[in-house]
Chains A and B, each alone.
Chain A
């Protein structure tokens, strides 16, 4: 029986449900010390002086560092040359939360006490806390070398003036894609031990080899004696692939004081120091005919980079504009983008990274076209879909060569679950009844770019390469260990990869282990991000397993005195086809694979060990159709999701249970962006949502149940056929939710509401209509 596609329970769980997981903060090596930050309370200020005397005098304090202690060191890796963040602020701070000083002490309480005793004298400067403020004439400049606050502007190649002038109808929207804090429940944690035999850094990170390569390069030390370990990691969502000063400072201080140094971020720090996501504003225009057929699309993305732009943040608008047309055939598309710095926390990847922003805008535009033309939103989608026979489909962007999909098929499948006509009647009925809650129905036919990626794609974000490693090692007893560079943080990769390998090797699932997250153990690796763990890493496991299996068959054939072509496997036994009486068990093949005298001619011991650096020729393109049904309380403006219907096309499903979990989790974050979450700053750059008291990460009572369905168009870029599913929900959900809210209020002339759709925004609309 094939395990690929089976609902298999996770190998990860027994440790995690008994408290036996091992997260970085759980490690407490002998002599371990604690590092605590003093972070800037000013959004933009000159540092006049830092008084550390009292902190240094506190018993138990081992070191207090400011930028003066590290003047010779380069700025934090990952930034743009000349605009990068110092490990500790030098002379000037540019956002609230920027590190100003660190204390190392014998325990975290003393370190926190000492940090309180450090006095930083700031000379406040004017701050720009929004895109409009940063781009206003005469605005204060964050980085003098830029001469302004725009880091990069990419203009339209052709602004499509003729297409818009000739079109029967046009419409435009200004859309804000709200800044979110990724907020894994485990904040950033790292522990450095830099002794005579080298540096070991345990870090809550999604890409340990990436960090190992970078940290060795930064310090000019060899990679062989630099080890990064990402043990159990408590969620990442893209925020744990960024290089932050914490990693480098704990390492430096460990070397300095000769003891392990641990940094455990508090939640209040996490909300201002862990890089944010989204933070885009869109100016979108669309030209269409009276039947709702789109003729041209123009999109300008303005990306808030926060105070210090980084490679990933600069890539976000590239991905957004590449996916601007979504799943629609649009004859002319023009894209433009601008990256701007502000006095806020830097921005980088957050679940979906650039693609939720794209799907949100195109799906809002589709509903706007429906509103303008009177054509039903479902019908507008149908009239514009790229048809199934059009793949591969070249878009306006060289990045996005759509390879597969069935957008109409996903919508058909969705509508089997949604009683659309009845809902529309119910909506009408409720509008006539002032006592009834308003009803809204919102759709999104979404498409994303995932499976990162083909050669060159991740290199553009600073990674070594875009392959993923897989090593399959048969043990002498016939069990197997798999090593992967795609270090997981909740995805269930250990289970998924064991399922793939079990099918390819014919070895029992319970006798396959998967190891990850340690650069001293895993040959090389890239990491888990961009929905690549199955589409690239899993494909690597399949390739390596297949190679091992072919050699195992040769050994079995030799032992059975048969030809390898005639060997089949069942119940961990190799047979000669047609003669079931003659067999050799996997365990014997494995044992003998290490014994030169037992091997077929030309084969050497170690033949059942294969390492693959799996490449893929293209990105993948997961897609789907979602529908959200909301009720709106006319008295409070509160939005309640009544139903959330989700049809995904992630290609081949390895484990339906885990795919379901990924979809739910992504959708939950998408709903959260649509209704609840917003990292807010006041005009002086002070964050107003810097604890979980005021940044609303939803609880169980804030979220609905989900109805899920599926279609499957296999990914042609790997033999598994899998596309990836980790980010889909966060791409598909926000437009469905906001389309539903706007639909509920459309009789009041509402065309758009920016996320998050809070009760006060809705209440103001309802009051205004009275």
Chain B
């Protein structure tokens, strides 16, 4: 069975005829070619596939594409600022070495973005708690915490355009 779904992704309207069971993550990666959103598990534990659904962090491996007709999705490809500057979170991950292999990073950045929207000045404990659903195997997390703190301390960061 196929269903037509229309989803706004990173500000652009997309519309596809999809199988009812098509996962959002596969819609993004395979239909739209937005491969920055990764898959790291099959039980919604790792968070590598985290995107923003109407501004809230969701795991796109646990959402059907057909389920979110007329919704807004932001992926890592849409995380930068309008002028092309990295977002404060992206820059924070760079400044504080919040990534190594980079595989969990898009999910971490999207989850952190949602956190700072809700709580612009989180403590270390609040950051660790908010990122509980995102696993990183490389960093041991301290530098990810520092990256989020960096962003909280530089809310108006801009690099003055595309990098």
Contacts and interface: CB of A to CB of B under 8 A. Distances in A.
Contact of B100 (A18, A490, A693, A701): A490
Interface string B58-94: 0000000000000000011101100000100010011
Interface in B113-151: 124, 127-129, 131-145
B137 A17 contact: no
Given A18-B90, A657-B97, A235 B138 contact: yes
Interface residues of B, number: 60
A553 to B, nearest CB: 35
Contacts of A391: none
A186 interface: yes
Interface in A622-659: 657-658
B100 A492 contact: yes
B19 interface: yes
Nearest to A19: B36
Contact of B77 (A18, A668, A693): A18
B94 A185 contact: no
Given A14-B163, A490-B102, A23 B38 contact: yes
A184 B97 contact: no
A17 B132 contact: no
Nearest to B19: A109
A706 interface: yes
Contact of A267 (B41, B86, B145, B163): B41
Interface in A85-126: 108-109
B1 interface: no
Interface stretch (A5-13, A44-52, A500-508, A601-609): A5-13
Contact of A692 (B99, B135, B163): B135
B6 interface: no
Contacts of B37: 19
A205 to B, nearest CB: 13
A658 B137 contact: no
B48 interface: yes
B102 A28 contact: no
Nearest to B139: A665
Contacts of A26: 29, 35
Given A184-B103, A692-B45, A18 B36 contact: yes
Contacts of B21: 109
A274 to B, nearest CB: 12
Contacts of A491: 100
Majority SS at the chain A contact face:
loop
Contacts of B29: 25-26
A410 B106 CA distance: 38
A667 B37 CA distance: 27
B76 to A, nearest CB: 4
Contact of A661 (B102, B129, B143): B143
B131 A661 contact: no
Given A185-B48, A664-B140, A233 B101 contact: yes
Contact of B139 (A21, A25, A187, A664): A664
A10 B93 CA distance: 11
30 contacts: A15-B102, A16-B105, A17-B90, A17-B105, A18-B77, A19-B36, A19-B106, A25-B39, A26-B35, A28-B30, A184-B101, A185-B101, A186-B101, A234-B38, A267-B41, A268-B42, A661-B97, A664-B142, A667-B140, A668-B139, A691-B43, A692-B43, A693-B43, A697-B137, A699-B131, A699-B133, A700-B131, A700-B145, A701-B132, A703-B140
